[in-house]
A and B are shown apart, each in its own frame.
Chain A
Amino acid sequence: MSNIRPEEISAILREQLAGAKTQAELEEVGTVLTVGDGVARIYGLTKAQSGELLVFENGVRALVLNLEEDNVGAVLFGDSKEIREGDTVKRTGQIGSVKVGEGLLGRVVDTLANPIDGKGPVSGELFEMPLERKAPGVIYRQPVNEPLQTGIKAIDSMIPIGRGQRELIIGDRQTGKTAVAIDTIINQKEFYERGNPVFCIYVAIGQKASTVANVASTLEKAGALPYTVIVAANASDPAPMQFFAPFTGAAIGEYFRDTGRPALVIYDDLSKQAVSYREVSLLLRRPPGREAYPGDIFYLHSRLLERAAKIINDDGVAKNMNDLPPSLKNKVKGGGSLTALPIIETQANDVSAYIPTNVISITDGQIFLETNLFNSGIRPAINVGISVSRVGGSAQIKSMKKVAGTLKLDQAQFRELEAFAKFGSDLDASTKLTIERGRRNLEILKQPQYAPVPVEEQVAIIIASTKGYTDKVAVQKMRDFEKEFIGLLKTQHKDILENFRLGKLEDADMDTLKKRALEIAARYQ
């Protein structure tokens, strides 16, 4: 070994720590012609690509969206106040991308995946993931076949969501759309604790910073933050940050998806994103269409939601996936999935407006939340009658699929007959029974916020109700019955619950369940 002089080391260290480039590089530059409203027009940059990141002298970044005859239109990811006409803009040569890794879990980041929660820099290895990326092709996908448990009884039983599915959550303001999403994140805790977590990404678009902080603290309290990333583009952030935030969420989700793990991304909400995209498009002078949205608003949402996918469970095939970012090349594994839960806020329950119809047609089903249900105490305020899941049926565990069939049928009949019940009196016995059972079913489908129910408990209580073991229980006592019944099963019949969880419905279990249910029901008449 030859001697290493200490001066040599310190010189190298100093150079590294300085972080500044000492060598001048050949750069491509342009000049700002006009700037304002978060949009800059830049002269020069003749070789700039669409979607490329630019950087201004003061460190603000921008993304090229328009390439025109003699200028380029770029949207700013920062304050436009500090940028002046005549400033130079540099090309970075890289397409808009974010750095993603395990270190992002438990963090709150902005659209460019910079942490904004004050917990220091993102640790661990980071991979460059492009914001805009083509969705995986047909050969790299497989049909949805695994459930994504939301922990909400009404959803898991009647509108089941599969991993890799895109299920729209739609409703007016204050109907509990975000609550459904947050509950779903919290419910993934059991999978996290069991060692195969579903990584969750919550993208908040155009919300109040205080709301985002609330969500973060709720998740932290529930112990759901360690497997969750929050992407926040607040109402005060520039419009480009807001409309790119879902793409950041998708890029983070794709990292987990392509490394063979399940991920869940929630876009809260896409109607606000559409509004900010409209703002940017109009400022870039793109021609407006219906409701002044640009012509490619449908494409904006479809290419975003198309990135949700269940990847084929075959490493060899998955390795050749289209448009893989180079940084991820050696890490690709099959079997991952990205489930998307976009949220759309309607105005006065109008689902036939432009954006809602667009997103309804893109997604594989929708969950309708309604104000009048919410106000009549049915919470979560899901209208099961018109909510559907177009692929979820094949993604239910066997036990749930069996018992949910009856529930769905019961509730459909109940809804039809409910109107008659209002006139009271003379109903025949079977009609009466349907209505009474429907009321009890309705009661068990209610559940408080932040209290997701594991699927095995859902199965147990649905069996009890649909098989008629609770027919004698008073409607207003259903909740107490449920509490005691589940408590009993959890303490004395763990094996039954475990069987349910594994999808088994055995006769012996059913008999015990019946006995226990009738015992408890007798006390709640």
Chain B
Amino acid sequence: MTDHRVASRYVKSLLGLAVEQNALEAVHADMVMFDEVCDTNREFLLMMRSPIIKHDLKRDMLEKIFKKKVHLLTWSILDIITRKNRESLLPAIADEFHVAYNEFKGIGFASVTTAIEIDPVVRKEIEEIAKKLSTRSQVELETKVNPELIGGFVLNVGDRQIDASVSSKLNALRLTFKHNPYQKEI
């Protein structure tokens, strides 16, 4: 989490610069792409974090992979951060940029977890609820499937959560029976 604190500093200036140069969409697309590369390619992520591989070697690799495919601004941030020996922060920066972009555009973020795959109609309904909760006009809804919920759903919008899952109900029931006042504890 300390990564995020540092990353948000870089992101703040990058976002400002991107808006100024009218390259917000392009940089955002690059960052999403970078994030995806990190998510799908474990070796790449490990390479970025490795303290053994030299920094200029990492920069060379980044140059070969990304330079031609991304906006100039994106490349310059990759470049400068690698040269300052903080390339391990790059995945966090990409992550944080997406959050900052959504914030800037007024797009809310919500995630819903269900026991089984949800159909588009329900999804639409949940999206409406999420919009209401986040008071944003647009909401990016992430769906997750977790069979451990047994039934129902868990909707997270930012810090807030609606937990209507069967498993949490069962858990609550279990907790009410956990403390036995007739049992001596001293």
Give residues in B with beta carbon < 8 Å to A. Answer: 1, 4-5, 133, 152, 156, 159-164, 169, 171-173, 175-176, 178-179, 181-186
Contacts and interface: CB of A to CB of B under 8 A. Distances in A.
Contact of B163 (A19, A24, A110): A24
Nearest to B174: A59
Given A29-B160, A47-B159, A69 B186 contact: no
A28 B4 contact: no
B173 A20 contact: yes
Contacts of B178: 59
Contacts of B172: 20-21
Interface stretch (A114-122, A160-168, A362-370, A405-413): A114-122
A27 B1 contact: no
A114 B179 CA distance: 9
Interface string A16-44: 00111110111111100100000000011
Nearest to A110: B185
15 contacts: A20-B172, A20-B173, A26-B160, A27-B162, A28-B159, A28-B160, A29-B161, A43-B1, A44-B159, A45-B159, A58-B175, A59-B175, A88-B161, A114-B181, A117-B186
A117 B186 CA distance: 7
Nearest to A22: B169
B161 A118 contact: no
A209 B184 CA distance: 12
The 6 tightest CB contacts between A and B, nearest first, are A118-B184, A24-B164, A116-B185, A59-B175, A29-B161, A121-B181
Contacts of A502: none
Contacts of A59: 175, 178
A122 to B, nearest CB: 8
A28 B161 CA distance: 6
Contact of A108 (B1, B133, B186): B186
Contacts of A212: 186
A498 to B, nearest CB: 41
Given A26-B133, A118-B181, A20 B176 contact: yes
Interface in A110-141: 110, 114-122
Contacts of B159: 28-30, 44-47
Interface in A199-233: 209, 212-213, 216, 232
Contacts of B133: 26
A383 interface: no
A234 interface: yes
A280 to B, nearest CB: 21
A493 B186 CA distance: 46
A78 B171 CA distance: 18
B125 to A, nearest CB: 14
Interface string A42-72: 0111110000000001110000000001110
B162 A26 contact: yes
Given A27-B161, A69-B5, 7 more contacts: A20-B173, A24-B152, A25-B162, A26-B162, A27-B160, A27-B162, A122-B181
A213 B175 CA distance: 27
A209 B160 CA distance: 41
Interface residues of A, number: 43
Contacts of A45: 159
A119 B185 CA distance: 11
Contacts of B164: 24
B153 to A, nearest CB: 9
A116 B186 CA distance: 6
B162 A118 contact: no
A27 B156 CA distance: 9
Nearest to B171: A57
A71 B127 CA distance: 28
Contacts of B185: 110, 116-118
Contacts of B162: 24-27
Contacts of B160: 26-29
Contacts of B4: 70
A364 to B, nearest CB: 33
Contacts of A121: 181
A43 B3 CA distance: 13
A216 B184 CA distance: 13
A33 B1 contact: yes
A208 to B, nearest CB: 10
A343 B75 CA distance: 66
Contacts of B1: 33, 43, 70-71
B56 to A, nearest CB: 32
Nearest to A108: B186
Interface string A268-305: 00000000000000000000000000000000000000
A44 B159 CA distance: 6
A516 B179 CA distance: 61
A71 B159 CA distance: 12
A29 B156 CA distance: 9
A26 B1 CA distance: 26
A232 B159 CA distance: 36
A44 B181 CA distance: 34
Nearest to A27: B161
A114 B161 CA distance: 29
Contacts of B169: 20-22
A164 B34 CA distance: 68
A18 B133 CA distance: 29
Given A43-B1, A232-B186, A27 B163 contact: yes
Contact of B184 (A29, A71, A117): A117
A74 to B, nearest CB: 15
B176 A19 contact: yes
Interface string A229-249: 000101000000000000000
